[in-house]
Each structure stands twice: as C-alpha cells, then as structure tokens.
Chain A
Amino acid sequence: MSLDITNDTAAAEALIKEVLDAYPEKSAKRRSKHLSVAKPTEEDGVTGCGVKSNIKSIPGVMTIRGCAYAGSKGVVWGPVKDMVHISHGPVGCGHYSWSQRRNYFNGTVGIDSFVTMQVTSDFQERDIVFGGDKNLDAMIDELDVMFPLAKGISIQSECPIGLIGDDIEAVAKKKHKETGKTIVPVRCEGFRGVSQSLGHHIANDAIRDWVFEKGVPEFETGPYDVNLIADYNIGGDAWPSHKLLEEMGLRVIGMWSGDATLSEMARAPKAKLNLIHCYRSMNYICRHMEEKYGIKWVEYNFFGPTQIAASLRKIAAQFDETIQANAEKVIAKYEGLVADVVAKYKPRLDGKTVMLYVGGLRPRHVTNAYEDLGMKIVGTGYEFGHNDDYQRTGHYVKEGTLIYDDVTGYELEKFIEKIRPDLVGSGIKEKYATQKMGVPFRQMHSWDYSGPYHGYDGFAIFARDMDMAINSPVWSKFKAPWKAA
C-alpha cells in the first residue's frame, strides 16, 4: 500500500448503473452481481470487492472468457516441453492455441520439445459417429514413431470427446502399458465449467492422478529444494524468478509448467516448499501436495520491486537465517537497478491511471508494480477469478476502484470510454477497440509480445513498455488538424 489513493466511488456507481440500463431486465439483474465498487471493510487496510464470480456467462453478451480446454492445454499442460500434447477432437482448438501463449523453453522443437507444435486427431464426421478411441490408440503409436524422444503424451479433450462417450482413460492405460511412457488423459472439454478455470482444476487433477499416482521418482533431496509453481514462462517470466530464488540460496528442482519437463513435474513431491505464483491455476495441486506429502506452499508476487522484496522476505522466512540474510542481499543487490528504473520512468508515468482486465492473477498481482511507477489502478476485474481471488484483491486495490467480473465487451468499452484511463491492460480481443478510442493499451496476458515482466530484470522491461505505450507520439495524431477541436 505504497500510495494513499481513493477513487471516486459515486462516479463509479453511476457508471455501473448506466451500463446495466442497456441490458434486457433479466440480464441486467444477473450482470449487476458482477459489477461493484471497492469499499473499505472492517479489516484494517483491506477493501471489499463484493462481486459474484465463477458463475456462468450470460449468452450473447460477448464474454471475453475462454474454455476448460484453454485452461488445460493452453495454460497448464501445453508448456510441459518434452511431452506431445494431443488436441483431441476437431482441428480448430489446437490451431487457434498453436504457439499463442509464448511459453518459452529451451529444447529442439519436434525432437525433444514440442511446445510450439499443433498435434491433433483432427476429428472427422466418422469419429463423431464411431468414436475416436481406436484412432487415438493408433495415433499414439504413430507419434511414438515420429517423436521417439518424447517423454510422454497428454490427451487434451475437446468438446465432442465427452459428448460421444469416448473412454480416453482406457486408451491411456493401454498405451502406457504398451509404450512404458506417461500418457495423461485430460477431461478438459470446452463445455465443462464456466471458463478456463475448471480446465486448470481438471489439469491439476490429471497431474495428481496420472503423474504422481504412477510413482514419484527417487531423487537426492536438499534442505532448500523448492518448486516454482504456476509460472508459465510467458516471454521468459519464470527465468528471472528462478534466478532470484537461486541467488538467495534456494534450489529450484522443478518449474511448473513454463520450461518444464515431465521429470520436473514428477519429482515435485520431493520438494521442501512449493512457491506458487498464479494461485488461481495451480492452488489445487499445491493443496494436494500439502495434504498428501506435507509440503507447505507460499504465494508470492514477483511483479515490481515492492512485491518482489516482500515476497523474497516471505519466502526466506520459511527457511533459516542464512537464507533470510541472502534474501536481504538479493534485495540490496537490485536496489540500484530499481532506483534507476524508477528515476527514469516515474516522472513520465506519475499519476497515470490504469484499468486492468485479465485472467485469474494479474488483475491484482500487477497493481503494486504500477504503483511503484507512480501509477494508479482505477478499475480491475477477472475473466475467471473466484471468490478467493476477489478477497485477495482487497489487499491490493483502493476504495472507489471499479470492479468488474467476467466483463462483457459492451461494459468494458463503456467503462473505458467514460473513465478514459491513461492505460488499459487486457487482452488481444480488447486491444484494438481500446486503441481506436485513443486510449493506450498493453496486452497483459502475453505482455504484448514483450517480457519477461517478472523479477527485477522484468520490472525494467515492464516500466519501459508502459512508458512506450502511454507516451507514444502517435496518440497526438488521432484528430485531423482540420477538424474542429
């Protein structure tokens, strides 16, 4: 809570009323539960976000959400680099998600790494009629011939699989027996649940059932072994994070799942502590590891110096004094860089307002990184957050912040038009409409093809990118000079 800011509650409430008026009555009533203004609570320093979340989107309103398949293949499993991920069903899902999430990895594509490939069973009408199990079986054999160095295969179910009654689990068991490789069936059909979120959960459960349950490998453990959980290495995010953890003396024995290998997934239960970045997408497996293997887990936030320092201390507190002293050294080591970045960019960004609309973590996690640069969050919301995410958001946002859950295209456009923030951070679907209005924009799922944004190394890039978006000379050219002002 580095800045003392409150937003204009009354104005935000009026705005909510205005957008709700545009809906048919029934839908207005449903949407009203997802829109709110942050208010102080009894708990000191915490703001209430008071919205319903993780419930079905209303038909026809242009939700920005995706599906369970996107949550599993696109988020959790897709980045595991030495496995082939089959998009099981028709060709589209794998096509649109092909290479779009920029989960960086080291490896040779098509030989020992398969992240940037689109492998699909390409369902035809006959598969719908006769079922796809037989072809899936044969397909796995063919993949073994094509990619003998792949360590395993995941089967990412698309909508039809669950509707036509295929038994992909039986195929997985059979092929595991035949090939000896890890085969993971995932029931992430797109119609399941209300967003990507259930896909994360199902994908987590698949790790539990089809990786852990098949045996945890022998591994020589150390006192400082940690897993870096739920960093998908977008633009290389997990690497500066990895570097910081090692600099403070911890040993990262597994990255989940950015730049991950199956070995790193399988040995995770041998760690001393799980460090989780994206709580939304992987809290399930952390809870499981806590229950079954007694591994504690700690949420951390590596966006911006305030949160990085707090997180390093929080993580260090789980270990001995050596690690705690190291954490202080790491923080001190980067003080110069932080000061330089803030000195360079804060004067250009101070007081600028930001509206966010992202997935399940960043709508809160990036807040302090903006504040570190003097910027102010005036609205935020999640595509697929749950109640516990909104609770956590209360620790980040200020009174009067507009809160919108599962925002619709209409609402977001109106909010942006009326609030006219200095920057909007959201996704590709929102980018161009926003920019046409003359409002600067950064994609905050993909870092707009930039990154990394995590860690101190990432903070410099984050600051640079926000500055270039907001202070681009192009914004002054929108109005033709012959048009009256």
Chain B
Amino acid sequence: MPQSAEKTKDHVTLFQEPEYKEMFADKKAQFEGRPSDEAVAAQSEYTKTWEYREKNFARTKAVINPAKACQPLGAVFAAAGFEETMPYVHGSQGCVAYFRSHLARHFKEAVPCVSDSMTEDAAVFGGLNNLVDGLQNSYTLYKPKMIAVSTTCMAEVIGDDLSAFISTAKEKESVPADFAVPFAHTPSFVGSHTTGYDNMVKGIFNYFWDREKGEVKRGAVTSKINIIPGFDGYAVANNRELKRYMDEMGVEYTLISDVSDVYDTPSDGTYRMYDGGTKLDDVRAAINAKATIALQKYCSDKTLEYVETKGQPTASFHYPMGVSATDALLMKLSELSGKPITESIEKERGRLVDAITDSQAYLHGKKVAVFGDPDFVYGMVSFLLEMGCEPTHCLATNGGKEWEAAMTELLASSPFGAGCKAYAGKDLWHMRSLLFTEPTDLLIGSSYGKYLEKDTGIPLIRLTFPIFDRHHHHRFPTMGYQGALRVLVEILDRIFEITDDASDISFDLTR
C-alpha cells in the first residue's frame, strides 16, 4: 500500500508508486487509444526542427500560448490603485471571477471587484438595468468612495454606452449625483491588459478633469509630479521603492494608481477591503502638476496624450530597470523638480555598479530569451545589455510595430544586441521553436515560461507578471538600483546553479 498516515504521499510522489504506474500503463494500453510511443517520439523530435519552426511561424490565425491577457484585467488593476475604489465590470460575470482569481493568484491577496452579471436578456435589451441595479448594490454594500467601471467584450459587442448609462443610473439615484463613477470602454478584442490599464487611468483622469464639474482648465502649476507606474506585477515593491527615492530627494509627487498597499495588506486579524491607493483629491489636483511621467509607455500612451491636451508636459519610460534606465528616471525627476539626486542614492548606484563589476565574468556573453509585456521586455533587455549578456529572442505577444522598431533601435545601440531579434505579436509556441532551433542559456519571463523550461531544458527566471508558482517575488522591487541588484542576484543564482549542476571536476568552492 503506497499511502500511510505517517509518511503521507501527495500528488508529488504518490503517482510514482508502482500501483499507480501499473494502472497508468494498463489504462494507456487498453483504453486510451493514444498514438504509439514511436509516433509521439517522432513528432516530439520534429517540433524541434527548423522545418517545424517555419510552419510554426507561418501561422496567421491560430494563437497558441499567448503571453497576454485582455483589457478589463488591466482596467481592474488600475482602478484598484485608487483610494477606496471598487472596480466594477459591466458585462458577463464570469470575466470578473477570472480577473479576481488571476490577480489573487499572483499577489496572494483578496481582489475585490464586482460584475453586473449580464445574461441573455441583457444581450437582447442591453445592460442598462444591470448597471442601474449594480451601481446601487455595490455602493450600498461596499461603501466605496469611487466605483470605476470597465466593460467585458459582451457589453462592447452589443454596444452599451457607459456614459449614457451612468448618467441614467445617477438620475435614478443608484448613487448620489456627485459620487465618482469614472469609466472606460475596454473591449477585450482590442489590445491587451496594458491597453485596458491605459484606458482606465485615462478614464479616471477624464472623470475628475472633465466630467465631475465640467471641463477643468489647468491652473497654477504646483510642484508635484504625477507618476503612472503602468501594469506591473511588482508594483507593490516598485512603487514603494520609487517613493523612497522621491522622498529622499524631496520630490513632491502623486502616484497615479498606487496598488502598493492595496495588494499587500497585513495579516493582523482584520480584512481590509480597501487600503491605501491614490487619494481622489490628489487626482483632482493632478491636473496642475508640473508634469506626468509614465514608467511604462505602452501602458500609458492614450493617457499621456490626454494629459497633454490639458497643457501638461509628459515623459515616458520603458519599465526602468538597471543602471542607465534608473539614471535617466532619476535625472528626469531631478530636472522636473529642481531637486538634486542625493549622495546616498549615488552611493546606491555605485554599489550596483560594483556588484555588476564583481560578477561580470559570469554574465558576459550569456544568451538570454525574454518574453513579457512590451515595456518589461524593453527594460529587461536594456539591463541585460548593460551586464554584457546577449539577449537573443525578445518576444511580446502584445507588442506592436512601434515596439519592434524601438527594440531594434535598442539592440543596435550595443554590440551585445547584435544577434538578437524582437518578435512582436508572437506567442510562446513560437518561442518554443526559437528556443529549440536557436537555444539560449536562460529564459526570462513569467510563470507560463515553465512549460518552455520543461520542454527545452532552458532555465527560466521569473521576473514578470504573472508569477503563480513562486511566492512573494513581487514583494521585492525590480526597479531602481536596489531592484536591479535583486534582478542581478536572481540571474546570477541561476547561472551558478547551472554551473554547479554541470560541473564535475570543476565543482569549485569559490566562484
């Protein structure tokens, strides 16, 4: 008998017991009707070839293992970053169950969000009644300061008009007339979660700057700088790291959508449905800020465009990671605020450079494949280039032509980028072919990369959303000099593990 109370075996080992292995073999031989082992082995080998790769890249319709989610996920994430805000999704309810689960699995936190549960009748008659009831119910039950509405594809296909519906709901007194209900149309058949993030942040600005009390004109400029972090699985730690730098420099700022306390609440006996987040008054005042900076351009294009229509200057980055990207961000903050970068920050920078110097021999020439959201891939690759690694395949399923061009330019800027190609709009089944035909030393991406690691044997380093199968990575930053140091150590650890595993004679104590 394989099982016992004393040494209980669960799925990790139980099914390796002979009783189970025999049962699997019997089932396969007698009942499954699967292809022969030879056919499976042959096909398995075939998928590793250049010929298969060409067929794989000839795909134009089938999308296999794409590394992107849909718009409302980004909208829910963005909405969650505001003070006592209930994200609300107008449309089918299953979507909300998915968004909540998805974010909860990554952050290991509760993810409040409501749906207005549209079904067949709403498909025929529209979802106005759902919105009228839904706003009233969520306002009454959950007592938010703001309800931020986005849409599922169902509501978009039938053409529900959020602006008109919300006005009607207010007329019907679902919520008080002056209660903040910003909205964003977030069709999942356009763009990805990064687009949804952009749309929601823009929708929230638009509410406070153009709708709440009619059109607001930009007044006397304050000393504040608005920062939009973008969709970031590490936002909890990265936002805090950024605030630390700005506090130290004396830069005044407003983080626009700050989930750092929302998705990182303490365990002390109280469940906080709302905690932290950007104050609504700060959003109102943000129109008069000196400038708005987006940390992830492709998460904020439309928002920045909107901010510029108000006469406010903007700047954007691509997930600033590593030495130069952090330098550039800090210099921008310094330039805008007139506050110098402090000596202690400069020392931190020096320590990061020191660490890279100490370890450069192990990083030099390491071939790395990277996948993730467009800004992350850009930021990651620019840091790899600084460390003397050789990025080889860079892939963003939700990257466009503009991203591909920006990547090509970045890669051309360094001799270490010479052998690398950027793939916009490709998926992880494409990446599988790339890794088999042109293997790399490392793969950097999200948890979904674990299937590539298993198939190709190329070690995966998890550095971007979503991370489901490792805990608490998101509680430590990846941005700033400290974040870069942490990323450096993660990469080095993996390299040393591989070296140790591969060593026999040279199983060295000191490396």
Q: Which residues of A contact B (CB under 8 A)?
A: 22-24, 26-27, 56-70, 82, 89-93, 95-98, 100, 104, 106-112, 116-125, 127-128, 135-136, 138-139, 142-143, 145-146, 148-149, 151, 158-160, 162-164, 190-194, 196, 235-236, 239, 242-243, 246, 252-255, 259, 261-264, 267, 333-334, 337, 340-341, 343-345, 408-410, 413, 427-429, 431-438, 450-452, 456-457, 460-461, 463-464, 478-480
Contacts and interface: CB of A to CB of B under 8 A. Distances in A.
B152 A159 contact: yes
A356 B334 CA distance: 54
B380 interface: no
A142 B56 CA distance: 9
Given A90-B153, A191-B123, A253-B31, A60 B47 contact: no
A61 B62 contact: no
A340 B187 contact: no
B97 A120 contact: no
B189 A123 contact: yes
Interface string B444-465: 0000100100010000000000
Contacts, number: 341
Contact of A100 (B62, B101, B272): B101
Contact of B24 (A27, A106, A341): A106
A66 B97 contact: yes
Interface string B21-56: 001100110011111000110011001000000011
Given A60-B134, A243-B20, A95 B33 contact: no
B294 interface: no
B316 interface: no
Contacts of A263: 31-33
Given A95-B68, A148-B43, A160-B154, A193 B119 contact: yes
Interface range on chain B: under 10, 10 to 19, 20 to 34, or 35 or more?
Answer: 35 or more
Contact of B104 (A242, A344, A428, A451): A428
Contacts of B131: 59
Contact of B120 (A120, A146, A192, A333): A192
Contacts of B5: 337, 340-341, 343-345, 460, 463
A57 B265 CA distance: 29
B102 interface: yes
9 contacts: A26-B133, A27-B133, A59-B134, A60-B133, A111-B47, A190-B95, A263-B31, A431-B110, A438-B267
A59 B137 contact: yes
B61 A96 contact: no
A120 B397 CA distance: 13
A440 B137 CA distance: 29
B60 interface: yes
B484 to A, nearest CB: 29
A146 B55 contact: yes
A9 B40 CA distance: 60
Contacts of A478: 267-269
Given A98-B448, A429-B104, A63 B20 contact: no
A293 B95 CA distance: 38
Interface of B: 1-6, 8-11, 14-15, 19-20, 23-24, 27-28, 31-35, 39-40, 43-44, 47, 55-56, 59-66, 68-73, 88, 91-95, 97-102, 104-105, 108-120, 122-123, 130-131, 133-142, 152-154, 157-158, 187-190, 192, 265-273, 429, 432, 448, 451, 455
A56 B56 CA distance: 43
B153 A62 contact: no
Given A60-B135, A65-B97, A70-B94, A22 B55 contact: no
Given A117-B65, A451-B10, A254 B192 contact: no
A61 to B, nearest CB: 5
Nearest to A62: B114
Contact of A96 (B99, B272, B448): B99
A479 B114 CA distance: 31
Contacts of B268: 436, 478-480
A480 B14 CA distance: 40
A67 B448 contact: no
A68 B34 CA distance: 29
The 6 A-B residue pairs whose C-beta atoms are closest, nearest first, are A67-B94, A92-B70, A60-B134, A263-B33, A59-B134, A96-B98
B455 A110 contact: yes
Which of B35, B266, B432 counts the most chain A CB atoms within 10 A? B35
A179 B288 CA distance: 63
B267 A117 contact: no
Given A62-B112, A243-B20, A190 B62 contact: no
A291 to B, nearest CB: 25
Contacts of B189: 89-90, 123-125, 127-128, 160
A342 to B, nearest CB: 8
A440 to B, nearest CB: 12
A67 B59 CA distance: 30
A190 B70 CA distance: 15
B165 to A, nearest CB: 12
A457 B63 contact: no
Nearest to B140: A24
Given A118-B66, A254-B31, A457 B134 contact: no
Contacts of A108: 40, 44
Contacts of B9: 457, 461
Contact of A436 (B27, B105, B110, B116): B110
A56 B92 CA distance: 12
Contacts of B432: 110
Given A82-B34, A194-B119, A239-B23, A146 B59 contact: yes
A93 B59 CA distance: 21
Contacts of B56: 146
B222 to A, nearest CB: 36
A91 B119 contact: no
